[in-house]
Structure 1
Amino acid sequence: MARTSVRISSLLALSAALLLTAGCGGDTASDAASGTASDTPAASGGAPKKDKPVVVVTTTWEGAFAKAAGAEDVKVIVPQSVQHAPDYDPKPSDLAAVAKADFVLYAPFEPYAAKIKAAAGSKAKLVEVNLDNDPDKVNAEVAKLGALFGTAEAAARWKTGFDTEYAKLNTELRAAWPGGKAPSVVTQVFTAWAAKLAGATTVGTFGPEAVTPARLAELSAKKPALVLDNAHMSTGTVLPDSGARQLKIVNYPGDDLDLLPVYRNAAAELKKGAGGGGPVARAGTAADVP
C-alpha cells in the first residue's frame, strides 16, 4: 500500500476562512463541492435529521471500502489523479467537507487525517481503516463500517457479490497455471493479497524498505517465476537477472470507488505473467500509476 501523506501547512490558515464561511449560513459553493447529503426536517419541527451518513475519506482506497459498506455520500480528500500526495494542497472545500462529515476514514500510515479534522473543527468520528485487499480483511472492514454507518444490509449484499467475483477470478487464475502447477512468487508485502488471489506459492516477501543485497541474493535463490511489485511504491526491477517476470499490482481503486476492478485488473496482470506474455516491469514503473 502506498505511504501517503498530505502537506498540512495551509490547513490552519484555511480553517479560519472556513469558520467565517460557516458563520454566514446558507448554501455555498463549497457545500456543493463537498457532496453533503441533504437533511430532512424532523417530524416534530425540531433539528433536521440526516437520511444517510456523510463520509469523508483521505483516499480512494478508504472511499471504496466506505462505498462497499453502503455509504452513498463519500468525499475523497486526495484526488486519485495525484501521484504524490505530499504535493497536494487541501482546498477550502476539503475542509468544508470534513467540517460537515459524520465520519472521517483514514489509514494508520496517514497521520495527517487527524490534523485535517482538527483544522476544520469537525466533530466527525475518526475511523481507522485497515487498508489491505486480502479478502478476509476487506470483508471484516466492510462489515465494521456497515455497522457504524447503519448500512449493514447493504454491506452484506456487497459481500455476497464480492465473494462470488473473487471465487470466479481465483478459479480462472488456477486454470491458467502453466502445466497446472501453482507458480512460485516473491511479493512486496502490500501485494501479498494478489498472490493469494492467484493461489500462488509465496516463497518470499520484500519491502516496504529497500531490498538489501543480502535479501536480494536470498530471494533470487528461491527461483520465483513471478515477482509482484507494488505499483505505488515501486523501486524498479526487484530481482534483476533472476529470470522472474515482474508484474505491477495496483492497490488503489479509481474515482468510481469500485473495489472489484482492482481484483479484475490484478487477475489480468497475473494471467499475463503466468502465460509468459506480459512484459517484465522496468525501473520507474511507479510514475504511471493512477
Structure 2
Amino acid sequence: MDHSHNHGHSPSELSGRNLVISIFLNIIITIAQVIGGLLSGSLALLSDALHNFSDVLSLLISYIANRFSKKEASLKKTFGYKRAEILAAFINAVTLIIVAVLLIIEAIKRFQNPQIIDSNLVIWLAIIAILGNGFSVLLLKKDAKSNMNMKSAYLHLITDMMASVAVLIGGLLMKYYQMFWVDSVLTLAIAIYLIVVGYDLLKNSYKVLMLFTPDTIEIDDIVNVVQQIEVIKNVHHVHIWQLNEDEIHLEAHIDFNEDIQLSQFNEVLHEVEALVYKKFGINHLNLQPEFGKNDTKDIIVQD
C-alpha cells in the first residue's frame, strides 16, 4: 500500500492577533450593553449583549482551535489537531442556535409585558457596538474566505453588527415615534437570522466531522476517470472525506489487469495522484494495489 501527498497551495497563516483584538473588543461591548440594557430596560440591547457574549466565547474557542491546529502530529495523535478548527466551527454554530432560542423566548415574554425604554442609551450603545464589531469583521474577513473556523467567528461578528444596526434603528423609532413594541420585534428578527446562519454552519461542519464525502465531489466520476487508465481494471472500496479546510483524502482498492511490478505501480500512483488533484482537488491519496484478489468489487463497501 502506498500513501501519497499533494498539498497544492499551502494554507494561509491565520492571524491569532486579530482574534485576540476581536475578543477584547467584544468583552468591552458586552459589559457596556449589559449595563446599558439593565439601565434602559431594552430587551433588544440585552439580547445583543447576550449575542456579544456568545461572540466572546466563540472567538475564544476559535483562537484556541487555531493554536491547537498548528501542533505537530505524534505517535498518539497521527493527524495532530487538524480537526480542532472544524470542531470549533461546530460548537460555535450550536451556540448561535441556542442563543437564538433564548432570544425568542424572551421576546415573546416582552410582547406580553411591554415596557418603556430609555431610547437615548440604546442608540449610543448600538453605535458603539456597530463600530467595535465592524472593526472586528474587517480584521477577520480575509481568513474567513478560506477557513471554516474563522468563518464561524466572522459570522458571529457580522450577525452581531447587523443586530446592532437593527437595535440602532429600533432606538431611533422608540425615541421619535414611541414605538416601544419594536424592541421585541427586533429581538425576534435577530433570533431568526441567527438560526438561519447557525444552521448552515452547523450542517457544513457536521458533514466534515462525520467524514461525509464533500458536496463538490461525485465518487462515480472519480471512479470512471481513474478506470480509463489502461492498466487499471477496477476501482472499488472507495472512501473520500475532508479532514479539515485544506485536506481532502481518497483511499481506494485498485484492481490491475496484470501482475505489474512495484516500479510500474509507482508510475500509476503518480498518474492517479495528478489526475484526482487536478480534476477534483483531492490532495491526499492512499491506494491499495490488487491483482486477482477475490474480494468485493463494489465501489462502496461498508467496513
Into which bin does the TM-score normalised by the smaller protein fall? Answer: under 0.3
* Greater Rg over alpha carbons, structure: 2
Considering Cα pairs closer than 8 Å and 6+ residues apart, tell me whether 1 or 2 has the greater RCO.
Answer: 2
TM-score by length of 1: 0.27
TM-score by length of 2: 0.26
